[in-house]
Amino acid sequence: MSTSFIFVLMFTLIALVLLGFTIVGNNLNAKDIVFSFTALCAAFLMFFLNTILALKDEVKTESMTVELSIYNMIADIHSLSHKKSSFFVFHREEISKEVNLDKYFKLGSLNEKNMKDENFFSFSIESREELNSAIKDISKFLHIGIIGEMLSKNPDWEIFKNKKTFRGSEKYSFNTSAEYAGKNTFIAKNEFDKILDLTSFKFDENHSMTEGLTLPPDTKVKVKENILFIDNPFVELQFSIDIDHNVSHFPPENTFNIMDGNFSNTSYMSVNLMIESRFKKERFGSREMASYKKWVEHITKDFRTAFEFKTLEK
């Protein structure tokens, strides 16, 4: 329970105690006052119990398999879907310079020894230090993609409210600058450069229709212990990963990747991207909660479309 909730309940309890001492205690023979005070205490107790028992956090967790590929030191999201992340398609070279994932794949690169191995797998991450470093860098790689996808496709959290249909086609309008954000939180692209601790790759240097993200009121974005947090009074989103220690030389669709008559030197690693949505109990009964749930559902669906591995669509 939040500090504000506890403060209000404690303040009310102290007020009841003071009422009991100053008014009821001096008028014990006034039955109406005693009865009314007893009813007031009973009502407070019922309210307190309902607050504790009825208001609960609602937590939803989505998990999706993301296949990372490395070829010629360039990292990318591997998927055969034409709806895969366009942000990575256009910026993978710059992002790969910012986050060097090639070092985790080198131990699994093709050579004469593992070319003869029947399964073409190489164990590439062996020590705890390597694992922690890989989680940190791969998390940063995907965090860049998450913010990039939002800037490209969901720059305004109320974009789905502003959908209009004209001659059979859907049209969307959305805010693009801090000037017209109103009560919403606007985070400029250069602020995301700082939040994600970017050095060479810059969101602010990439062309897009918006100057930043328009998020719900009082939203904070931060990275802590390799987890990306998007937090406001209604919902907290957490983006975290779990990685496979093995590197494969076969693409996950189980077909040989042949280039110029030879196996390509492309390597693949599986990553589980987990999105935890915690809808906070302090606002669970609010009329506005439905809008937040719809927003979370909308962006989560887009992340799954952009990042999750898919085979050829039939």
In a domain, 62, yes or no: yes
Burial class (CB in 10 A: 0-12, 13-18, 19+), 203: buried
198 shares its domain with 258: yes
214 shares its domain with 96: yes
65 shares its domain with 49: no
In a domain, 313, yes or no: no
Tell me which residue of 57, 55, 59, 88 sits closest to 74, measured CA to CA: 88
In a domain, 302, yes or no: yes
Number of structural domains found in the chain: 2
63 shares its domain with 42: no
Q: In whole angstroms, what is the distance from residue 225 CA to residue 246 CA?
A: 23
256 shares its domain with 205: yes
Name the domain boundary from 21, 38, 54: 54
In a domain, 314, yes or no: no
Tell me which residue of 149, 201, 139, 210 sits closest to 174, measured CA to CA: 210
Residue found under tokens 């009813």 = 39
In a domain, 312, yes or no: no
Q: What is the pLDDT of residue 109?
A: 47
235 shares its domain with 300: yes
Residue 181 is classified by DSSP as: -
pLDDT (tens, 9 = 90+) of the chain, 314 residues, equals 567 767 787 888 888 888 888 888 888 888 888 888 889 888 888 888 777 777 788 999 999 999 998 888 898 998 888 888 889 989 999 999 999 888 876 654 444 555 555 444 454 566 788 888 889 999 999 999 999 999 998 999 988 776 666 666 666 778 888 888 999 999 999 999 999 999 999 998 766 778 999 999 999 999 999 999 999 999 999 999 998 766 666 667 665 544 434 445 677 888 999 999 999 988 888 899 999 999 999 999 999 999 998 876 54
50 shares its domain with 99: no
161 shares its domain with 203: yes
For 30, the domain range is: 3-54
302 shares its domain with 262: yes
122 shares its domain with 200: yes
Q: What is the pLDDT of residue 173?
A: 75
Q: In whole angstroms, what is the distance from residue 17 CA to residue 40 CA?
A: 11
38 shares its domain with 110: no
Side chain identity at residue 114, one-letter code: N
pTM, rounded to two decimals = 0.80
Q: 3-state secondary structure string, 197-258?
A: CCCCCCHHHCCCCCCEEEECCCCEEEEECCEEEEECCCEEEEEEEEECCEEECCCCCCCCCE
